[in-house]
Amino acid sequence: MKALEVNNLHKTYRNGFQALSGVSLEVKQGDFYALLGPNGAGKSTIIGIICSLINKTSGQVRVYGVDLDQNPADARMHIGLVPQEFNFNIFEPVGEILLNQAGYYGIPRKIARQRAETYLKKLELWDRRYDMAKELSGGMKRRLMIARALVHEPRLLILDEPTAGVDIEIRYSMWNFMRELNASGTTIILTTHYLEEAESLCNNIAIIDKGVTIEQTDMRSLLNRLNLETFVLYLDHEIEQLPDCGDYHVRLLDKSTMEVDKHKDHDLNGLYSRLSRCNIKVVSMRNKSNRLEQLFLSMLNNNSKD
C-alpha cells in the first residue's frame, strides 16, 4: 500500500496565481521521502493540501488508501504535521501542549499521558514538561513540535524544515531520532533547504519547481546521474608542483591542498597510486560541494531554460 498518492494536483489561488500545475507524487509505506524545491516552488501548497489546510483546485490525494475528499477525518488521522513555524500557545506548559493535541484526535487522557511521557523522554524534554513553551530554547521548541506531531502516532509524518535554525549537535540528534522513527515503520516526508540532510536521511526524492514535479526517483539513482564530482585532498606535506596525474584533472589550491575532478566512470584508486609513486600521501579528503546540491541546481537551471 502507498502511504501517499497525489495525482495531478492543481491549485490556483483566488488572485489567479497558479501554485500547482499537475503535481503527482507517490510515497511508499515506510519511506523516508524528500520533497525539495526552491522557495515558491509549491512545496508548502502541496503540504497544505495534504494536511487539509488548503483546498485544492483539482486532483486527488489518498493517504494510506483513504481519499482525502471522501473521508477527510480518516485521512487526517494518519497524518502528523511538523510545520516550519513554531505554532503553539507560548503560555501553555509543554506537557499540556501534547495532551491537548492528543485530545483533538480523540485519544483518552490516560493513554495521552503515557504517550506524552514516551515522546517527551525520547526527545529529551521530559524534565521540562511543566515549563511554559516560551521558556524553551529554539532547539527544544523544534523537538516539542515533533513530539506534538507524534502524540497521535501518525503513520505518515510530514516534517517541514524540522532542523531550521537548530545547532549542529541537536540537528544530528534529531536526524538519529528521525532515522529511528522511520525504522520503526513511520513514513516520513521531509522538506528541507539543507540538501545534505535530505541526502543523508532520505531514500526517495521529488523535486518540485514552478508547481510541477521535475524529478521523482530514488536517491541513489539520482546521485548516480552526477557525471563529475570534485574532491578536495589534504596532503601530508607541502608540494611545489603538481605531480603527473594522467587522466585526472587536478589543481593545486595551496601547497598542501589539491582539488581533483572525478568522472563517474573513474575511481580514486588510480589517483592515489600515482600520488603514492610521487611520495605524496593524502591525509584526508572531502567532497567540494554536496552532490545533491549540484544535481539540484543543475535540474533547476534546466527547468528554467525549458
Partner 1 sequence: MIISIALRELRSMFLSPLAWTVLAVIQLILAWSFFTQIDFFFNIQSQLATLPNAPGVTDLVVMPTFEVASIILLMVTPLLTMRLISEERRNGSIALLLSSPISMTEIVLGKFTGIVLFMLIFITMISLMPLSLLMGTELDLGKLAAGMFALMLLLSAFSAAGLYLSSLTSNPVVAAISSFGLLLLLWIINSNTGDASNTLDQLSLLGHFAPMLRGLIDTADIAYFILFIATFLLLTIRQLDSQRLQG
Q: Does 74 bind partner 1 (CB under 8 A)?
A: yes
Report the residue count for the chain. 306
Supply 278's cell numbers: 610521487
Supply 49's cell numbers: 493540501
Q: How many residues bind partner 1 (CB under 8 A)?
A: 35
Least CB distance from residue 50 to partner 1, whole Å? 9
Q: Which is nearer to partner 1, 92 or 215 (CB)?
A: 92
Least CB distance from residue 161 to partner 1, whole Å? 14
Q: Which is nearer to partner 1, 75 or 235 (CB)?
A: 75
How far lies 179's CA from each of 30, 153, 174, 190, 249, in Å?
11, 16, 9, 12, 37
Which of 104, 165, 176, 251 is the binder for partner 1 (CB under 8 A)? 104
List, edge to edge, every strand of the sheet that includes 58-63. 18-28, 2-12, 58-63, 66-67
The closest of 154, 299, 292, 294 to 215, measured between CA atoms, is 299
Q: Does 110 bind partner 1 (CB under 8 A)?
A: no
Q: Does 130 bind partner 1 (CB under 8 A)?
A: no
The vertex-246 CA angle with 240 and 250, nearest 5°, equals 50
How far lies 159's CA from each of 44, 45, 84, 149, in Å?
11, 14, 8, 9
Q: Does 83 bind partner 1 (CB under 8 A)?
A: yes
Q: Which is nearer to partner 1, 151 or 195 (CB)?
A: 151
Which of 43, 62, 76, 143 is the binder for partner 1 (CB under 8 A)? 76
Q: Does 48 bind partner 1 (CB under 8 A)?
A: yes
Q: Does 42 bind partner 1 (CB under 8 A)?
A: no
| Interface contacts to partner 1, rule CB under 8 A | 11, 13-14, 45, 48, 51-55, 72-74, 76-77, 79, 81, 83, 85-92, 96, 100-101, 103-106, 132, 148
